[in-house]
Amino acid sequence: MNAREIRLAARPHGLPGLDAFHLVETAIPDPAPGQVLIRNLYMSLDPGMLMLIGAYPDIPIPPYEVGAPLYGDAVGEVMASGEPSLKEGDVVLHRHGWREYALADAAQVRQVDPDAYPSLSTYLGFGLVAYAGLTAVAGLRPGETVFVSSAAGATGSMAGQIARLLGAGRVVGSAGTPEKVARLTGTLGFDAAFDHHDGPIADRLREAAPDGVDVYFDTVGGEQLRAAIDVMNAHGRIALCGALARQSAGGSPDAGPGDPMRLIGKRLTLRGFTMNDHLDLASEFGRRLRQWLADGSLVYEETVVDGLENAPQALLDLVRGTYTGKVVVRLTR
Amino acid sequence: MNAREIRLAARPHGLPGLDAFHLVETAIPDPAPGQVLIRNLYMSLDPGMLMLIGAYPDIPIPPYEVGAPLYGDAVGEVMASGEPSLKEGDVVLHRHGWREYALADAAQVRQVDPDAYPSLSTYLGFGLVAYAGLTAVAGLRPGETVFVSSAAGATGSMAGQIARLLGAGRVVGSAGTPEKVARLTGTLGFDAAFDHHDGPIADRLREAAPDGVDVYFDTVGGEQLRAAIDVMNAHGRIALCGALARQSAGGSPDAGPGDPMRLIGKRLTLRGFTMNDHLDLASEFGRRLRQWLADGSLVYEETVVDGLENAPQALLDLVRGTYTGKVVVRLTR
């Protein structure tokens, strides 16, 4: 019996095409002592994967290597274990996505409760990065106005809803199509939203946030970051979480926030962060998330793509803005 | 009897010349109830005054108005008082510099102890902005490496010395002449220093801080800010305090810190601040400063320029990098 995995065929210049990916059949290995063999059930697609494909400078984790399988968050079932603390049938979260069967060091996987959420795939769009950005990074206080860019996306839709649940006074979002904008103020409960293609972003943001912005949860950078700085109130905080503008531009460096005098004038704080710095918040957040999902106060949106062979196209579509909410790939055949 | 003041003659394009300033004789007014008349003894010169002359966008305080007197920190003696809590002879710190006699609302002046320091002018180079930037803004921890730009200047020379006194493991500075660089590692006790004209700044900084930089106290922006980001360690903090690069360029906007991905990759924090946000630290810092001055562990450098009529030229010289340490103007004739 064979498994399949996707490898990086070549390092693309600019935005990758399907020819950057190579689907390969491999043998299913046996776990050595200390290892587990995992049958992956779901894997995450994340826009940041484009940075790893393109090997952008300055990224926080190692880029994908040409000829090697890609990686990313996945949830799967232990099939065989060389480590007494994990047994066959345990469900684990780990970083060896982009393959149907993964061999992992037991120390690098985390066992999860299979019954905590309606679907195991929820572990992949868990929203810890949104929660950490709003709390530990930006220090959101009740009553403040929060702006979220790419707000119909996996992280943005969680950030906006969590901001509201944490007591934000006003939650404003941007997205790239009229349908997404409608979804923000509809299902997702944002107070106001706009399409970032509709004229000067700073003007649209000022209309949506007439009292200014206190916290900006930034997954985009670029023009939206500079517009947010225009509209920020004194002592505002910006949680820098992603670089979709750069990813959509095929990796060309982003001009960034601009003149530091603007940051001094408003006494703003910009802070780059990744989820890995805030794993200490995972259990606190997990408790709150389960409660919010149970009482219906948070809407969790997910698109499930079937089959590893469809993952490359889905990733390209994701970066192009095709989806709303979290996108996962179901790997069981 | 008449007093003199300096008004803004015209709004210059780019760097101002002497023709931007207009020395005017005025009558000495009487204080109304709630006001005090102050004879100024010393006034501060500060590179940031160029932003107020040029009315740069995004500055934290109102620009100077054409035809009106300039303003800035000054220390003086109360000559007549319309307010019972202040009496003739009291020494006060206030914001009505650039004039020999100032009329001020009593609520806007702060009485100071005339015997706390060897000279009253010390109140003008007090260093609270350096202390606040290192402690409240950047959260300096013992053993960390600190980089200070424009380190031979008024704020930079305090920031570097205070960093050492707060337990920094290594203090590195940049300056614009070999003499200033020698002064940094000599009198001022920096561990390493370099001339920012000497080739790629990031290379010089890496040599001076081989283990990377944890805290950058930035009074410059521009290329030094981007070089600092190159050399920062993960979780580094940058206290944004000034924009000398922009001031020296006659106000042209600074390109800023660049791609936000670099801030995410290293999980850096950039925070703009002004002294006014941290006045709660003034008494704590005052106690420490008097101790450091008394036991000789901190060197306070000051240049005294005589006469209000010489203040404009001295300000232009200051921005050009002529001086080390704090520059004040003695106003008594």
| Chain A residues whose beta carbon lies within 8 Å of the beta carbon of residue B272 | 260, 262-269
Which stretch of DSSP H or E encloses residue A282?
helix A282-294
Helix axes B222-231, B201-208, angle to 10 degrees: 50
The pLDDT value given to residue B252: 82
CATH number of the domain where residue B173 is located: 3.40.50.720
Do B271 and A270 lie within an 8 Å CB cutoff?
yes
Q: Tell whether A149 and A260 lie within a shared domain.
A: yes
- The rounded distance, in Å, linking the Cα atoms of B210 and B141 is 18
Q: Is residue A291 part of a domain?
A: no
Q: Is residue B296 part of a domain?
A: no
The pLDDT value given to residue B244: 85
Cβ contact A193:A172 at 8 Å: yes
Do B261 and A246 lie within an 8 Å CB cutoff?
yes
Q: Tell whether A133 and A255 lie within a shared domain.
A: yes
Q: Is residue B63 part of a domain?
A: yes
User: Mutate which of B259, B267, B273, B276 to disrupt the A interface (most A C-beta within 10 Å)?
Assistant: B259
Closest residue to A256, CB basis, from B58, B260, B268? B260
Tell whether B62 is within 8 A of chain A (Cβ).
no
Closest residue to A267, CB basis, from B56, B261, B274? B274
Q: How far is A115 from chain B (nearest CA, A)?
A: 34
Q: Is residue A243 part of a domain?
A: yes
Do A243 and B257 lie within an 8 Å CB cutoff?
no
**Which A residues in the span 249-288 are in contact with B, Cβ-Cβ below 8 Å?**
253-274, 277
| Chain A residues whose beta carbon lies within 8 Å of the beta carbon of residue B220 | none
User: Mutate which of A264, A273, A277 to disrupt the B interface (most B C-beta within 10 Å)?
Assistant: A264
Q: Tell whether A115 and A134 lie within a shared domain.
A: no
Do B60 and A260 lie within an 8 Å CB cutoff?
no
The pLDDT value given to residue A58: 76
- The rounded distance, in Å, linking the Cα atoms of A269 and B280 is 20
Q: Is residue B284 part of a domain?
A: no
For residue A265, give the chain B residue with the closest CA: B60
Q: Is residue A248 part of a domain?
A: yes
| Chain A residues whose beta carbon lies within 8 Å of the beta carbon of residue B262 | 58, 272
For residue A269, give the chain B residue with the closest CA: B271
Do B261 and A271 lie within an 8 Å CB cutoff?
no
Do B258 and A263 lie within an 8 Å CB cutoff?
no
The pLDDT value given to residue A1: 67
For residue A231, give the chain B residue with the closest CA: B58
Q: Tell whether A105 and A159 lie within a shared domain.
A: no
Last residue of a domain, one of A241, A261, A276: A276
Q: Tell whether A136 and A267 lie within a shared domain.
A: yes
| Chain B residues whose beta carbon lies within 8 Å of the beta carbon of residue A273 | 264, 267
Q: Tell whether A136 and A259 lie within a shared domain.
A: yes
Per-residue pLDDT of chain B (333 residues; tens, 9 = 90+): 689 999 999 999 889 999 999 999 999 999 999 999 999 999 999 998 999 999 988 777 899 999 999 999 999 999 999 999 999 999 999 999 999 999 999 999 999 999 999 899 999 988 999 999 999 999 999 999 999 999 999 999 999 999 999 999 999 999 999 999 999 999 999 999 999 999 899 999 999 999 999 999 999 999 999 999 999 999 999 999 988 888 787 778 888 999 999 999 999 999 999 988 999 999 999 999 999 999 999 999 999 999 999 999 999 999 998 998 999 999 987
Q: Tell whether A134 and A268 lie within a shared domain.
A: yes
Question: Which three-class secondary structure state does DSSP give residue A53?
Answer: helix
Q: State which amino acid sits at residue B145.
A: T
Cβ contact A19:A66 at 8 Å: no
Per-residue tokens: B198: 């000497």
Per-residue pLDDT reduced to its tens digit, A29-56? 999 999 999 999 999 999 989 999 999 8
Q: Tell whether B272 and B157 lie within a shared domain.
A: yes
Where are the alpha helices (H) located in A55-187, listed in sequence order?
128-132, 154-165, 178-185
CATH number of the domain where residue A81 is located: 3.90.180.10
Q: Is residue A260 part of a domain?
A: yes
Closest residue to B272, CB basis, from A56, A59, A263? A263
The pLDDT value given to residue B1: 67
Do A264 and B274 lie within an 8 Å CB cutoff?
yes
Q: How far is B307 from chain A (nearest CA, A)?
A: 31
Do A261 and B243 lie within an 8 Å CB cutoff?
yes
Q: How far is A306 from chain B (nearest CA, A)?
A: 31
Do A270 and B263 lie within an 8 Å CB cutoff?
yes
Q: Tell whether A179 and A250 lie within a shared domain.
A: yes
Closest residue to B256, CB basis, from A59, A240, A258? A258
Q: Hey, which residues does A328 pair with through a beta bridge?
A: A44, A304
DSSP code at position A70: P
Q: Tell whether B244 and B313 lie within a shared domain.
A: no
Domain of residue A147: give its range: 128-276
**Which A residues in the span 180-219 are in contact with B, Cβ-Cβ below 8 Å?**
218
Q: Tell whether B227 and B318 lie within a shared domain.
A: no
- The rounded distance, in Å, linking the Cα atoms of A258 and A80 is 53
| Chain A residues whose beta carbon lies within 8 Å of the beta carbon of residue B218 | 260
Q: Is residue A40 part of a domain?
A: yes
For residue A237, give the chain B residue with the closest CA: B271
Cβ contact B6:B23 at 8 Å: yes
For residue A62, give the chain B residue with the closest CA: B265
Residues of chain A with pLDDT under 50: none
Tell whether A106 is within 8 A of chain B (Cβ).
no
Residue with tokens 């979290």: A326
Q: Tell whether B165 and B114 lie within a shared domain.
A: no
Strand B269-272 versus strand A269-272 pairing type? antiparallel
- The total number of structural domains in chain A stands at 2
